[in-house]
Amino acid sequence: MKTRNIAITLLLAAVIALTSCEKEVTDNEKPVIVLTAPVEDEAVLPGSDIHLEVTLSDNEALASYKVNIHGAFDGHKHSATTRATEDSVAFEKTLMESDFIALGEELIAGKRSVTIHHHLIEIPETVNGKPLKEGHYHFIIYCTDQAGQESFIAREILISYDAEEYLH
C-alpha cells in the first residue's frame, strides 16, 4: 500500500511537472528603425529645429526610444566659412521618450509599430552662453523592445550658420 501511494504520488508529480511546463517563447528579434528624416548630411541652422520622421516596429512589442545628438568632430575643419571659435561649444543632448511625451507625443510601449513625426528637437544658438560650435554632428535614434533588445540608427547632420533654414 505504501509503495502504491509513493508510485501514485510520483506519477502525479510527473504529470503536473510535464503539463505545467509550457515552452517559453523568447523574442529574439531586435526592433526595426526606419529613419526618413533627417537625411544624411542634412544642414541645420542653429536656433532651428530638426524634422524627425521615424517608424519603429517590433515583432512582439516596443518598449521605448531615445534620441542622442553629439559632435562628430575629428580635428579638421569642414568649411572655410566656419564661425566656430575657440570659445564655441559643441552641442550634446539626449532626449528620452519621456521628454517627448512631456511635449505631447504618445507612449510607444506595447505597440508593434509606430510612426513618429515632429519638430520638437531644437538646436540651440548658444550653449552655456557661448556660441554653438558648427560642424558635423551624429544624430542617433535608439529603440528598445519589451524583451530588452536594442537597435539604433545613426545619421550625420551638419549644424552651420550657413545652412538654409530647414523648411517645415
pLDDT at 130: 92
What CA–CA distance (Å, rounded) separates 136 from 38?
A: 13
CATH, residue 147: 2.60.40.10
Q: What is the span of the domain harbouring residue 98?
A: 27-159
Q: Which of 161, 157, 158, 156 is nearest to 126 (CA)?
A: 161
Tell me which of 71-75, 102-106, 148-152, 159-163 is least confident. Answer: 71-75
Question: Considering its fold, how many domains does the chain have in total?
Answer: 1
pLDDT at 76: 38
- DSSP run (H or E) holding 100: helix 97-102
- Please state the pTM of the whole predicted model: 0.77
Query: Is there a domain that residue 135 lies in?
Result: yes
Query: Is there a domain that residue 17 lies in?
Result: no
pLDDT at 94: 96
- DSSP run (H or E) holding 12: helix 2-20
Query: Is there a domain that residue 36 lies in?
Result: yes
For the segment 42-57, the average pLDDT, to the nearest whole number, is 96
